[in-house]
Chains A and B, each alone.
Chain A
Amino acid sequence: MPTLLVQLEAEERRISFVFGQSLRHILDGADIGVRTGCRGTGACGLCLVRIEVGEVGEPTFAESIHLDNAQRAQGMRLACQVIPQHDLRITLLSPAPKSAWRRLDGQEAWCGKRCLVFPLRNLSPLVKGSYGVAVDLGTTHIRLSLHDLASGHWLAERWGLNPQVTVGSDIITRLMVASESPEQARIVSQQAVMAIGEALWDIAIREGIDLQQVVRLTLVGNTAMLALLSGQNVGRLLQPDHWVGAIDCAPDDTQAWAIAWGIHPQAVVEVLPPLAGFVGSDLLAGVITTCLTEHEAGSLLIDFGTNSEIALWDGQILWVASAAGGPAFEGSGIRCGLPAEPGAIYRVTWQNGVFDFTVLAGSEPRGFCGSGLVDLIAGLVRSGQLTRMGRFSPTIPSEGFGLIRGERDLVLTKRDVDMFQRAKAAIGVGIQVLLANAGMGCQDLRRICVSGAFGSSLDVPNAQEIGLLPRISPDRVELCGNTALTGCEEVLLSPVAARRLQHLKDRARIINLSQCSDFDTLFLENLYLQPL
């Protein structure tokens, strides 16, 4: 693959690219923001770069309008117009302001483009050209996407860290801090509000979108995130009595948010209500977008995360549970763990005694993300280098299994395996308890929808081998990406989806796993790295 060298203020970046993409697209994909006012059509002339070394062909018509002879003589071009074929070295002349927000791409995106399930809103001709925003407010990450409300077209997407992680990485700590005083609650709420604003601003600058045209914003999240955002009932979530009951997380004044975000002041801002203390609207959105309750009995949805949520449809009842397994699937708490970002090993294969791996964005490997971890552990088990109990064979040194040795070691430690086992066991218990409540067994499952941390790159047979997923035919396992966001988009764009979401409440039944009498025994059984 040809290489693009980019001179930035502080560093030089090296990016491999495939032929056919514009320079702007390549840069944006590597999260090097370029200023633009036209979403890359060549109309605004803002995305200036200077070609230092390399062949790029003749200027396009758009460039001939925006660039004068002197500029062209200096090698200036528009990033959206240049489609490089060979190695290239450039300097950015109009970088976008530094942003913590990234495009959702490749791994993160859900089968490339959206295929909407539900019919669109009927918009009066007056509001044509209006946009809607869907937000998935997660504990660790915030993801949002912008759409044309009339056509349903997807326009832009961003993801970034939830700044509340500075208050506490886990939900409980944040709830504790927010429940100390109304002032604290306001600060924590504002962190999330501001973050959403920054993401929208990033879209405005980099895609050239007028935020005043955003007339609707729909938000989903787990219950704690919704409570922290609205500042309602934060303290009650700390009491186990409220975990399975309904909790009001409706915000008081969304107009102030709309103004802070710079969207239309009369924009409809809806925070989709959670089902109960530990079942948020993020899971409900997932149930909607996968049409879980529209299919035959025996459909299971697992939303993998720090708190994984599990929903089982038995034909009449939607059984729901939340399993707190820790952040291992998201690459946190693992020695060489990474979220699914460039440099993360997302696939590991073991063949003929040799491990091979694939890195996201084709860059230098810096660590494993969740799916890479699953592959590596399954490979070690299959090759007899790791017992089902989670113990390395005597040939593995005590510091752990080294996938890469060299300048930067990439090692899987025994502690990593332990963290993974615990996270996996929590979910295994959840699945078994829900199945038991529905009077079903693994063999009755007809469909499994996997959403959340693993994106779309989970190797299903590997996941089944170590008991992360029940063993059903792999072609009945669907990797759905982030169903919370896609479900939220459905509700944003379609009143039919919104109505269906409201009706889910009547069918759902919540199970509190920690109150199961045989939790310990089940948990112990599920710690083994063996099929469910």
Chain B
Amino acid sequence: MMDLLIKALLDGDQAQAIIQASKLREAGVGRRQIITDGVEAAMAQLDAKCTVEQFNLLEIMLCGRAATGVMKVLYPPSTPPPQTKGAVVIGALEGDVHDLGKNIFKMVLTAKGYRVVDRGKDCPVERLIDTAEQEAALAIGISGLITTVIPQVLQIKDKLVARGLGHIKVIAGGAALKQTLAQRLKVDFVAQNAFDGLHYLDQMRG
């Protein structure tokens, strides 16, 4: 049955994925196991594909959407939040209204058990930092499709340090940022794609 869930997720068939996840629950399989052996396993397969240039945006978006759907079934908004690997605050910076990449990152992280707090697009740096502090976040993920956001990216780490939040990692991604070195952007990591960012987070947690 787990295989059927994985297949439905990889096919991006949200309805089927939700049916399979519900069946697994009825059969007494724990939420944690469904996530680890089902959702995460599907994500790992997708990840492997991405690294061999078999990337297809539609597949990733559909899979991500199906995974988000399954997570909602496993943890309806009314239930207490699950034990997560930690919180990650994400947003697209002020002036940038493109957030497709950010949304994919959100889906991938959610499916892999992180709690994602999405501050949307056109988001000021201060709001990201405030949220990260409130949520005791592990990291802040920022996306930038246009190069005009670079001055804002350069400020984030300094501002975090100034507020005693230097331990919160800053991950940057998006077309405008990903060719640049982390040092030059004054961030902890520059992710080439959503999975790259995920690996960094996993590694950082040890």
A residues with a Cβ closer than 8 A to B are: 172-173, 176, 238-240, 389-391, 398, 413-415, 417-418, 421-422, 512, 514-515, 520, 523-524, 527-528
Closest to B122 in A: A240
Q: How far is the CB of B6 from chain A (nearest CB, A)?
A: 16
Contact B57 A514 (CB under 8 A): no
Q: B26 at the A/B interface (Cβ < 8 Å)?
A: no
- B52 proximity list for chain A (CB < 8 A): 398
A389 touching B100 in the complex, CB below 8 Å, given contacts A238-B148, A524-B62: no
A524, B65: Cα distance in complex, Å: 10
A235 to chain B, nearest CB (A): 10
Q: What are the residues of chain A within 8 A of B147 when measuring CB–CB?
A: 172-173, 176, 238
A389 touches B61 (CB 8 A): no
Q: B79 on the interface (CB 8 Å rule)?
A: no
- In the assembled complex, the Cα of A505 lies from the Cα of B22 at a distance in Å of 56
Q: List 21 A-B contacts (CB under 8 A).
A: A172-B146, A173-B147, A240-B96, A389-B56, A389-B62, A390-B58, A413-B53, A414-B53, A414-B56, A415-B54, A415-B55, A417-B56, A418-B57, A421-B56, A514-B98, A520-B103, A524-B61, A524-B62, A524-B65, A527-B57, A527-B61
Whether B12 sits at the interface, judged by CB under 8 Å, is yes
- Taking a contact as CB atoms under 8 Å apart, the answer to whether A515 and B56 are in contact is no
Provide the residues of chain A in CB contact with B146, threshold 8 Å: 172, 238
Residue on B nearest A243 in the bound complex, by CB: B97
Say whether B76 faces chain A, with CB atoms less than 8 Å apart.
no
The answer to whether A520 and B148 touch (CB under 8 A), given A389-B59, A418-B57, is no
A413–B52 CA distance with the chains assembled, in angstroms = 11
Is there an interface contact between A528 and B58, defined as CB atoms closer than 8 Å? yes
Taking CB atoms, residues of chain A closer than 8 Å to B62 are: 389, 524
Q: Is the interface of B mostly helix, strand, loop or mixed?
A: loop
Cross-chain contact A239 with B148 (CB below 8 angstroms): yes
Residues on A with C-beta less than 8 A from B166 are none
B residues 94-113 near A (Cβ < 8 Å) are: 95-100, 103
Are B59's CB and A391's CB within 8 A? yes
Query: Which residue from chain B places its CB closest to the CB of A176 in the assembled complex?
Result: B147
Name the 6 nearest CB pairs between A and B, nearest first. A527-B58, A514-B97, A418-B56, A238-B148, A390-B56, A414-B54
Most B CB within 10 A of own CB, among A391, A413, A417, A515: A391
Using a CB–CB distance below 8 Å, which chain B residues touch chain A? 12, 52-59, 61-62, 65, 95-100, 103, 146-148, 176
Known A-B contacts A527-B57, A528-B58; the reply to A515 vs B100 at CB < 8 A is no
Expressed in whole angstroms, the Cα–Cα distance for A176 and B98 within the complex equals: 18
**Residues of A close to B100: CB separation below 8 A:** 520, 523
**By the criterion CB–CB under 8 Å, are A240 and B59 in contact?**
no
In whole angstroms, how far apart are the Cα atoms of A514 and B62 in the complex?
A: 20
Additional pairs, 11, CB under 8 Å, beyond known A415-B55, A528-B58: A389-B62, A391-B59, A398-B54, A413-B53, A414-B53, A414-B54, A415-B53, A418-B55, A421-B57, A514-B97, A527-B57
Question: Which of A413, A421, A514, A528 has the most C-beta atoms of chain B within 10 angstroms of its own C-beta?
Answer: A514
Q: Give CA–CA (A418, B95) in the complex, Å.
A: 27
Distance in angstroms from A430 CB to nearest chain B CB is: 15
Task: Tell me, rounded to whole Å, the shortest Cβ–Cβ distance linking A161 to chain B.
Answer: 23
* B residues less than 8 Å from A240 (CB atoms): 95-97
In the complex, which of the residues A172, A421, A515 contacts B97, with contact meaning CB atoms closer than 8 Å? A515
A413 cross-chain contacts in B, Cβ below 8 A: 53
Across-interface contacts of A514 in B (CB, < 8 A): 97-98
| Residues on the A chain within 8 Å of B57, using CB | 418, 421-422, 527
In whole angstroms, how far apart are the Cα atoms of A76 and B176 in the complex? 58
Cα–Cα distance between A474 and B56 once the two chains are bound (Å): 30
Decide: B148 and A390 in contact? CB cutoff 8 A: no
Minimum CB–CB distance from A419 to chain B (whole Å) comes to 9
B56 to chain A, nearest CB (A): 5
Which chain B positions have C-beta within 8 A of A418? 55-58
B14 nearest CB across to chain A (Å): 11
CB distance from A527 to the nearest CB of B (A): 4
Q: Which residue of A lies closest to B95 (CB)?
A: A240
User: Roughly how many angstroms separate A512 CA and B52 CA in the complex, as a whole number?
Assistant: 35
Cβ–Cβ < 8 Å partners of B54 in chain A = 398, 414-415
B97 adjacent to A524 (CB under 8 Å): no
Residues of A within 8 A of B95 (CB): 239-240
Which residue of A has the minimal Cβ distance to B11?
A: A389
Query: Which residues of B are found within 8 Å of A390, using beta-carbon distances?
Result: 56, 58-59
Give chain A nearest CB distance to B62 CB in angstroms.
7
A514 CA to B57 CA, complexed, in Å: 18
Closest CB of chain B to A337's CB: distance in Å?
Answer: 15
Q: How far is the CB of B145 from chain A (nearest CB, A)?
A: 9
Give the nearest-CB partner of A335 in chain B.
B53
Across the interface, which residues of A come within 8 angstroms of B103, CB to CB?
A: 520
Residue of B nearest to A173 (CB): B147
Name which residue of chain A comes closest to B98, CB basis.
A514
Instruction: Please measure, in the bound complex, the distance between the C-alpha atom of A418 and the C-alpha atom of B55, giving whole angstroms.
Output: 7
With a cutoff of 8 Å between Cβ atoms, the chain B residues found around residue A173 in the complex are 147
Q: Which residues of A contact B96 (CB under 8 A)?
A: 240
Contacts of B98 in A (CB 8 A): 514
The answer for the CA separation of A503 and B121 in the assembled complex, in Å, is: 36
Q: Which residue on chain B has the smallest CB distance to residue A512?
A: B97
The CA of A355 and the CA of B71, in the complex, are separated in Å by 44
Q: How far is the CA of A514 from the CA of B59 in the complex (A)?
A: 22
For the complex, give the distance between the alpha carbons of A143 and B156 in Å.
44
Q: Which residues of B contact A520 (CB under 8 A)?
A: 99-100, 103
A391 to chain B, nearest CB (A): 7
Q: B residues within 8 A CB of A398?
A: 52, 54
B102 to chain A, nearest CB (A): 10
B194 to chain A, nearest CB (A): 15
Kindly identify which residue among A389, A414, A417 contacts B12, using a CB–CB cutoff of 8 Å: A389
